[in-house]
Structure 1
Amino acid sequence: MVVVAWIAGLLFGVGLVVSDMVSPTRVIGFLHVSSQWDPTLIFVMVGAIIVFSSGYWLVIKRREKSILGQRYELPTRRKIDVQLVLGAAIFGVGWGLVGICPGPALTSLTSGAWPLGLFVLAMLVGMYFIEKVKSR
């Protein structure tokens, strides 16, 4: 199972680099809906939606367990609450300010740029502290 996860992560990372989603300039250009809007990331998103949807309907909906014997953990909560909206807003503001999403940020660490390392460190510290707050 670890090998499958490693291969999936490697494929994901290579896809991020090839599609240039690791470039904050590209992402900010996509989020900047104006005369300078860069729509190229729509193709990455549509491709991901097609692959996921196909896999979901052809595999997950028809089986109780994965090929490796793991049960699928599908979300059961469907309620849109304050916690969801607030978390999405905070995530969106952070993404919009710097143009870096967590997945591409981890992939971008390979570039050696120290601001990305600082971003990832701040992200991890934030994740640690929010878990502490939520556990109270």
Structure 2
Amino acid sequence: MKLFIALFSGILFGIGLIVSQMVNPNKIFNFLDITGDWDPSLALVMGSALLLFIPVYQILKKMLKQPLFANEFSLPLKTLIDRPLIIGAGLFGIGWGISGICPGPAIVNVSAGDPKIIAFIFAMVLGMYISNYVNIALSKPKD
């Protein structure tokens, strides 16, 4: 059942990305071009998602003692805004601005077989591998 819910959620998310045209890099470029042909629709999509998510999340958090399809809620343990978070967010934003795509839409777009998207996914996976390697190397105690 857990896998079915995950699959259903992923498909629903992908459909939402397609309907809102967030899989179109030009939509992202036009949103980021505030001095040119600015397109505010990305802000409307994100704002609408937050306006729906925040109250529903707060209500469900109070109503449910545990998730319906897991043993416990998986909430972030770190709440500190630190240097790694700022650097990671900055790198994500730079990559998003350069490519006009982020991981969710890239996964949706991979079915089109566009070489640019496949290269993006390869670079994304490589970046995750490098990030994991750097985190392991940094967490080792120094002699």
Aligned counterparts of 1:40 and 1:103: Cα–Cα separation in 2: 18
Indicate the residue corresponding to 2:89 in structure 1: 88
Aligned counterparts of 1:51 and 1:7: Cα–Cα separation in 2: 19
Q: Does 1:63 align with 2:98?
A: no
The 1:4/1:69 distance shift into structure 2, 3 A limit, reads same
Larger of the two Rg values belongs to structure: 2
Structure 2 residue matching 1:118: 3-state secondary structure:
helix
Deviates more, 1:55-64 or 1:111-120: 55-64
Indicate the residue corresponding to 2:35 in structure 1: 34
2:65 is matched by which residue type in structure 1? E
Q: CA deviation at 1:69?
A: 4.1
Structure 1 residue matching 2:34: 3-state secondary structure:
coil
Q: Does 1:75 align with 2:97?
A: no
Residues 80-119 of structure 1 mapped to structure 2, 5 A cutoff: 80-119=81-120
Aligned counterparts of 1:98 and 1:121: Cα–Cα separation in 2: 13
Q: RMSD of aligned C-alpha atoms?
A: 1.2
For structure 2, which runs of at least 5 residues remain unmatched after alignment?
138-143
Deviates more, 1:55-64 or 1:33-42: 55-64
Alpha carbons 1:60, 1:72 under 8 Å: kept = no
Deviates more, 1:66-75 or 1:11-20: 66-75
Q: Which aligned runs of 4 or more in structure 1 are off by greater than 2 angstroms?
A: 61-64
Number of residues of Structure 1 aligned to a counterpart in Structure 2:
136
Aligned counterparts of 1:93 and 1:69: Cα–Cα separation in 2: 35
Structure 1 residue matching 2:68: 3-state secondary structure:
coil
Superimposed CA distance per residue, residues 25-60 of structure 1 (whole angstroms, 9 cap, x where no aligned partner):
001111111231101112211221022212211102
Question: TM-score when scaled to structure 2?
Answer: 0.89
